[in-house]
Amino acid sequence: MSILAHVPAGSGQPASPPQTARSARYRFLPYLLLLPGAAWLLLFFAVPLVQLASASLYDPEGSLSTGYALTWAFGNYPTALQQYWPQFSRSFLYAGMALVLALLMGYPLAYAIAQKAGRWKNLLLVCVVAPMFTSFLVRTLAWKTILSDNGWLVGLLRDVHLLGPDGRLLATPIAVVLGLTYNFLPFLVLPLYASLERLDYRLLEAASDLYASPLKTFRRVTLPLSMPGLIAGTLLFFIPATGDYINAELLGTPNQYMIGNVIDSAFLVRLDYPQGAALSFLLMSAILAVVFVYLRRAGTEDVL
Amino acid sequence: MAQETPAGDLRLANLTKTFGPFTAVDDLSLTIAQGSFFALLGASGCGKTTTLRMIAGLEEPTSGQVLLGDRDIAGLRPYKRPVNTVFQSYALFPHLDIFENVAFGLRRRGIRSVDSQVREMLSLVQLDGYERRRPTQLSGGQQQRVALARALINHPQVLLLDEPLGALDLKLRRQMQIELKRIQTEVGITFVHVTHDQEEAMTMADTVAVMNAGRIEQLGAPADIYEFPATAFVANFLGQSNLIAGEVSGSNGDDTLVTARGARFSVPSARARADEGPVYLGVRPEKLHLAGAAVQVPAGSQHLEGTISDASYVGVSTQYLLRTSWGTELSVFVANSGTQQRFAVGERAVAYWDPRHAFLLGRRADEDDRTTPVLDQPVGASS
């Protein structure tokens, strides 16, 4: 390919034709096309972000009634972290556990739909996406019913002695993790499906022909080739799950509250804007750090 | 695991594969000698690829055995068979570089030091220096050679080639045909080559099996099959033939006598696949010669008269169509050696042949003359 690219230069032809007004116009066209999106991002993302950043540095003594002053109060950050460290780490723990569960369910599911489902493929995809047609809130409330103390699931688990006679699922970490797993599963499955759908089964046959057992074929061919979808799906799952507060709110108790719940209450209940903003930025940078480390590791060929 | 066990002949015994009501391979039995270059030739859908996939283990036979030496490998998973495949699509791993693609089989068998073997194999297929490229950065011909190296490095007892040259252009294909033959002679591994290209099969293979509808129509050395086809299908799939419907009318010493369209012909009995009833009298187009009148036909030859209805000049030869009095058009290839008389369309001419070049094939009573339209690349005239 490099040879081809160099051919015109070496072919002894005069330098490229003079730039015309026409080609100059085409040079600006991409920027023109970027304009609406860029303006939108500037107005509704960049400006509020700066606003939030400055709010995180307001004088913590201020309040909505007395007004806030920008005093560059960097102390807001360590204070917030110190106070809400448990919720912070819990967010990552719950999201991580949910991610593991979702991978265990989602990878085989995506693989089956992509490679084995045949004419049921589209129907199964609709089944994966269908829950999204109802509101996030309604779906989580449905889980409240499923996990409720007098529901069939708890009854069954008590009958087989997996739960004690007074054991419950609702208001436990399990409920929150299950809720997170369920709610964000499609975000993991869809990109994975897209990757696995493109996987050429003839490569699997070739691997099998070259002495790779099914397990080795998965490890050496299927998994590396589905990596782009796996990375995208993992991020799409993990990022919103970490910041989520609905599941902890509806399926847990304050003992299961995640950082999202704290930010929610800082802004809407306690009206402590500086702390809410500082926590938001802490969460954002923590997620960015995790994603960065993950991509650095996953971007290389030896992920596992 | 491949190279330790002594290799043996590859034998297919009563191999059958059905897909629902469709029989892809029908009770196939054949022996492929160790170290030979064997070609399975047939049109698409004739079952040749299914046969290959059953040898590779990628398809499970409905019944029958695949024997390597004395061992039945039909029940083994593909990764347990000492057999490797060069796939039609090459199926190179896009996430691995050329080195790792070639090393794949060795690594999966737990061999640690692969470096020298991989380099040796890459130089065998003339791809030194390409170790760190990705498959997509290579041309079709180069990818094909990587696929070959990736399979050969495992020293399989049998190497299967599934139309490996199909995606290459004509010139490159010729080059690779010679290359493949060279490599096969060098490594001495049994090659089983599946192709629909009769010329490819004849160029490379020691033995060709012509398949049709899941069965083998004829098996033998390329020259034997070409010179003396067993069925009308083979006569027209491998090159082309003029097949004239006739009846056996008796015998005369070593010759079988045939009556066709009111004329009498004879064919040596050794070249007759049938000695009674309806038959085809067959002559290859390049075995036919043209003369202006019956008196010019040399003694001992037999002839048919007609009118030249088409003359195509293709460089090495001129391909004539001679329309007989009953309407059948015979193909006649005349080499452009500069000594032959040229005929124009509409001219009367006589096609004659040496009876020793003719052959007799069995014919169903309702079948009429069979001649094929002139091909772009007839076997008898090219290169």
Assess whether pLDDT exceeds 80 at residue B94.
yes
Query: Which residues of chain A lie closer than 8 angstroms to B109, CB-CB?
Result: 211
In a domain, A20, yes or no: no
Q: Do A220 and B104 touch (CB under 8 A)?
A: yes
Q: How confident is the model at residue B253 (pLDDT cuts 50, 70, 90)?
A: confident
Domain for residue A93, yes or no?
yes
| A183-241 residue pLDDT tens | 999 999 999 999 999 999 999 999 999 999 999 999 999 999 999 999 999 999 999 99
Cα(B158)–Cα(B146) distance, integer angstroms: 18
pLDDT band of A13, cuts 50, 70, 90: very low
Partners of A210 on chain B (C-beta within 8 Å) are: 79, 84, 104-105, 108, 150-151, 154
User: Are the beta carbons of B79 and A220 separated by less than 8 Å?
Assistant: no
The beta-carbon neighbor of A210 closest among B1, B58, B150 is: B150
Instruction: State how far the Cα of A130 lies from the Cα of A124, in Å rounded to an integer.
Output: 10
CA-based end-to-end distance of chain A? 32
Q: Is residue A223 one of the residues assigned to a domain?
A: yes
How many helices (H) and strands (E) would you count in chain B?
Answer: 8, 21
pLDDT range class, residue B290, cuts 50, 70, 90 = very high
DSSP letter at A44 equals I
User: Which pLDDT band holds residue B175 (cuts at 50, 70, 90)?
Assistant: confident
Mean pLDDT in residue range A87-116: 96
Cα separation, A122 vs B101, whole angstroms: 34
- Give the pLDDT mean for A269-288: 93
* Statement: residue B73 has pLDDT above 80: yes
* Higher pLDDT pick, B6 / B340: B340
Cross-chain residue pair A206–B95, CB shorter than 8 Å: no
Q: What is the pLDDT of residue B262?
A: 87
Cα distances (Å, whole numbers) of residue B304 to A156, A178, A233, B265: 93, 88, 76, 10
* Among A203, A213, A224, beta carbon nearest to B79: A213
State how beta strands B37-41 and B207-212 pair. Answer: parallel
Determine the CATH number of domain B10-224: 3.40.50.300
Which of A209, A219, A227 is the best residue to mutate to test the B interface, defined by the most B CB atoms within 10 Å of its own CB? A209
Mean pLDDT throughout B250-269? 91
Residue A285 lies in a domain: yes
What is the domain-level CATH number for residue A246? 1.10.3720.10
User: CA of A230, closest CA in chain B: separation in Å?
Assistant: 15
What confidence score (pLDDT) does residue A300 get?
A: 55
Of the candidates B58, B92, B108, the beta carbon closest to that of A211 is on B108
Q: What is the pLDDT of residue A60?
A: 85
Residue A147 within any structural domain of the chain: yes
Q: What is the pLDDT of residue B2?
A: 42
What mean pLDDT do residues B191-206 have? Answer: 92
Query: Interhelix angle for A173-197 vs A121-129, to 10°?
Result: 150
Beta bridge partners of B359: B282
| Dist CA B38 CA A26 (whole Å) | 59
Q: Is residue A204 part of a domain?
A: yes
| Among the partner residues B57, B77, B87, nearest to A206 by beta-carbon distance | B87
Q: What number of C-beta contacts closer than 8 Å exist between A and B?
A: 65
pLDDT reported for residue B40: 95
pLDDT over 70, % of chain A: 91
pLDDT at A7: 39
Q: Binning pLDDT at 50, 70 and 90, where does residue A17 land?
A: low
| One-letter identity of residue B301 | S
A235 inside domain = yes
**pLDDT one-digit tens code per residue, A234-272:** 999 999 999 999 999 999 999 999 999 999 999 999 989
pLDDT in tens, B11-61: 999 999 999 999 999 999 999 999 999 999 998 889 999 999 999 999 999
Percent of chain B with pLDDT over 90: 71
State whether B87 and A224 contact (CB < 8 Å): no
Q: Total structural domains in chain A?
A: 1
| B8 contacts chain A (CB < 8 A) | no
**Closest to B210 measured CA to CA, from B190, B221, B64:** B221
Q: What is the pLDDT of residues A141-194, one digit of tens each?
A: 999 999 999 889 999 999 998 888 888 899 999 999 999 999 999 999 999 999
Taking 70 as the threshold, does the pLDDT of residue A3 lie above it? no
How many other C-beta atoms can be found within 10 angstroms of the C-beta atom of residue B206? Answer: 16
Contact at CB, B84 and A212, closer than 8 angstroms: no
Angle at A265 between CA A260 and CA A266, to 5 degrees: 95
The predicted pLDDT at position B7 comes to 62
**B114 to chain A nearest CA, in Å?**
15
**H-helix or E-strand containing B252?**
strand B242-252
Residue B4 contacts A, CB cutoff 8 Å: no
ipTM: 0.82
Residue B32 in contact with residue B122, Cβ under 8 Å? no
Residue A139's identity, in one-letter code, is R
pLDDT band at B374 (very low <50, low <70, confident <90, very high): very low
* B382: pLDDT strictly greater than 80: no
Q: What average pLDDT does the segment A44-48 reach? A: 95
pLDDT at residue A19 above 70?
Answer: no
In the structure, what pLDDT confidence band is assigned to residue A299 with cuts at 50, 70 and 90? low
Distances (CA, A) of B211 to B36, B46, B47, B217: 18, 6, 7, 6
pLDDT (0 to 100) of residue B179: 86
Q: CA B73, CA B10: separation in Å to the nearest integer?
A: 10
Which residues of chain B from 75 to 134 reach within 8 Å of chain A, CB to CB? 77-79, 83-85, 87, 89, 91-95, 104-105, 108-109
The C-alpha of A224 sits at a distance from chain B's nearest C-alpha, in angstroms, of: 7
Q: What is the reported pLDDT for A25? A: 72
Of the candidate CATH numbers 2.40.50.100, 3.40.47.40, 2.60.120.10, 3.30.70.60, the domain formed by B240-371 belongs to 2.40.50.100
Q: How many whole angstroms separate alpha carbon A7 and alpha carbon B255?
A: 67
- B136 and chain A in contact, CB less than 8 A: no
Partner residue facing B108 (CB), from A212, A225, A301:
A212
What range does the domain containing A115 cover? Answer: 85-298
H helix count then E strand count, chain A:
15, 0
Average pLDDT of chain B to the nearest whole number:
90
Which of B328, B378, B9 minimizes the C-alpha distance to B192? Answer: B9
pTM given for the model: 0.80
In chain B, what are the domain boundaries?
10-224, 240-371
Q: What's the whole-number mean pLDDT along residues A103-116?
A: 95
Categorize the per-residue pLDDT at B138 as very low, low, confident or very high, splitting at 50, 70 and 90. very high
What is the model's pLDDT at position B377?
Answer: 40
* Residue B379 confidence class, pLDDT cut points 50, 70, 90: very low
